[in-house]
Amino acid sequence: MRRLVSGLAATALAVSAFWGPPAQAGKANDTLVWATDRENPITDSSYLNTRELVIIGTLIFDRLVHLDDNYKPVPLLAESWKWENDTTLDLDIRKGVKFHSGKELDAEDVAYTLNFIVDPANGSFNRSYLSWIKKAEVLDKHKVRLTMDKPFPTALTFLAGSGNILPKGHYEKAPARADGKKDFGAVPSDGTGPYKIAELKPGQSLLMVRNEDYWAGSPKGKPPIGKILFRTIKDSNTRLAELMTGAIDWVWDVPKDEAERLQRAPNLTIENAKTLRISYLTMDATGRSPDKRFMDKRVRQALNHAINRKSLVDNLVGAPSQVIYSPCHPDQFGCSEDVTKYDYNPDKAKKLLAEAGHPNGFEFDLHAYRERHITEAVIGDLVRVGLKPRLVYLQYGPLVQAIHKGQAAVINLTWGSSSIPDVSASTGHFFTGSPDDLAQDKEVIATIQAANGTIDPDKRAELWHKALKRISDEAYWVPMFTYAKFYAYSKNLDFKATSDEIPQFYKAKWK
């Protein structure tokens, strides 16, 4: 364990001496500065699906629907809606709302945005959340009709979790990439949200300023804070040192041991909050990658028995994190925990590896993109059963590309379900035959399709249990734990953490 407080104090002094007094951050400048280690060279989460861009999206965009504090769908850009039948949803689009460019929002913008996202030719990351939409059509200037091939009972929840509304023709401005395809993510964002983009330094920072013309009556409210600055600072010690000096106001993903030491800092508030995020290993059971060994169920079962989930929770994450065995979050509707549970049993893991023809283990690449200390602990468990993982640590975008190209056999991932409290946003995202599906199990795919098309909640739960049981029996994943996230932020900041893992910076204010 690092001597954090004394070490950071020295680092903080060095930062202050080198850079001078803290700039831009804090109450005096009415600028909330937050930082993470991840690069965000664009602002469109349809083309770089990082948690940071999900958060930024709530600031610069609005969606059709909003989830209130109880995760109940309430009107946002859609001021009302009506189900015409089980597969037809009509939405009344709010009048008097303007994009940051000055254009007034209408039904054409909504239909354009949704149809663009669901068109597979456009490669939007958000298509998986909205693929239930067959088409969006304009009924009049302020009314849109969504039609579906089959019922989708969680439509409103998914409209709250995805679909940042853009002006019609937005992506027509996309420049060409070197391969001749359109670079849709490079188009400057134009939203209707409570903040406007002032300056983007790709991979470094994004400055947003309050939208003084933000529409009245929004459940987000008019933001109390004038400016929000996101910064990428890859070194965790530097981030925390700048937090202590006041150059940063807010950070999260603070390791448990560091958070406990930071409790002694008089200028900081430390909070550990529940989230909808889960941590897991996924393995290539299809043989798409060059490493075919994970096609063997016994090898996948061995990894399940090798991981000491409880130790990860107790020593690295902390309460209210919990051990999981299903590939979903227990708080999500349909997430049955009545599945095969692989106990921590290193001897059984070794036996299974030997039965699979690997009595001395084997070397393999283990890809990851965040919380290196957790992945390193997982690697330690795997080494203890004779396996020899090589850590390949990437930014999220390149990691997703490696998965889709069949270049990764074992990956330590996390998933926050876009904060949607339904199992269709977790298990339903990764086991439906998409490029993210490393199982391609036809039985699972068919069961999930049936669940997604069923309105009856009891029948849905039954089908989800069937799918989850099959996934666990086949050991396609190593589900490990739910996340509890440590936040550290300035005592001057009035901030409330929420379990959806989307900080509501538009509601934060100075004390």
* Each residue's pLDDT tens digit, 334-343: 999 999 999 9
Q: Which residue has the tokens 């599945």?
A: 339
Per-residue confidence (pLDDT) for residue 49, from 0 to 100: 84
DSSP 140-184: ETTEEEEE-SS--TTHHHHHHHS-----TTGGGGPPB-TTSSB-G
Q: What residue type is 100 in one-letter code?
A: H
Question: Residue 141 in contact with residue 120, Cβ under 8 Å?
Answer: no
For residue 279, the SS3 value is strand
Q: C-alpha angle 478/481/485, rounded to 5°?
A: 140
Alpha-carbon dihedral 146, 150, 156, 160, rounded to 10 degrees: -80
Per-residue confidence (pLDDT) for residue 16, from 0 to 100: 40
Residue 13 has pLDDT above 50, yes or no: no
Share of the chain above pLDDT 90, in %: 88
| Helix axis angle, 442-452 to 457-473, nearest 10° | 160
| Helix axis angle, 297-306 to 346-355, nearest 10° | 160
pLDDT tens, residue by residue, 399-432: 999 999 999 999 999 999 988 899 999 999 999 9
Question: Residue 164 in contact with residue 190, Cβ under 8 Å?
Answer: no
> CA 256, CA 9: separation in Å to the nearest integer?
18
> CA 511, CA 508: separation in Å to the nearest integer?
10
Q: What residue type is 80 in one-letter code?
A: S
Mean pLDDT for the stretch of residues 162-191: 96
The reply to whether the predicted model has a pTM over 0.75 is yes
> CA 14, CA 7: separation in Å to the nearest integer?
11
Residue 10 has pLDDT above 70, yes or no: no
Residue 6 has pLDDT above 50, yes or no: no
- Identify the helix (H) or strand (E) that includes residue 298: helix 297-306
Superfamily of domain 4-46+177-271+487-510: Periplasmic binding protein-like II (3.40.190.10)
pLDDT tens, residue by residue, 82-108: 999 999 999 999 999 999 999 999 999
Share of the chain above pLDDT 70, in %: 95
> CA 190, CA 170: separation in Å to the nearest integer?
8
Fold for 275-484, please state it. Answer: Dipeptide-binding Protein; domain 3 (3.10.105)
Residue 35 has pLDDT above 70, yes or no: yes
What residues contact residue 151 under an 8 Å CB cut-off, 6+ apart? Answer: 86, 87, 453, 454, 455
Q: Which residue has the tokens 């890809």?
A: 367
pLDDT confidence band for 26 (50 / 70 / 90): confident
pLDDT confidence band for 24 (50 / 70 / 90): low
Q: Which residue has the tokens 């063997």?
A: 296
Residue (of 297, 319, 323) closest to 310 by Cα position = 323
Q: Could you state, in order of their start, the residue ranges of all structural domains in the chain? A: 4-46+177-271+487-510, 65-171, 275-484
Fold for 65-171, please state it. Answer: Dipeptide-binding Protein; domain 1 (3.90.76)
Q: Determine if the peptide bond prior to 320 is cis (ω within 30°).
A: yes
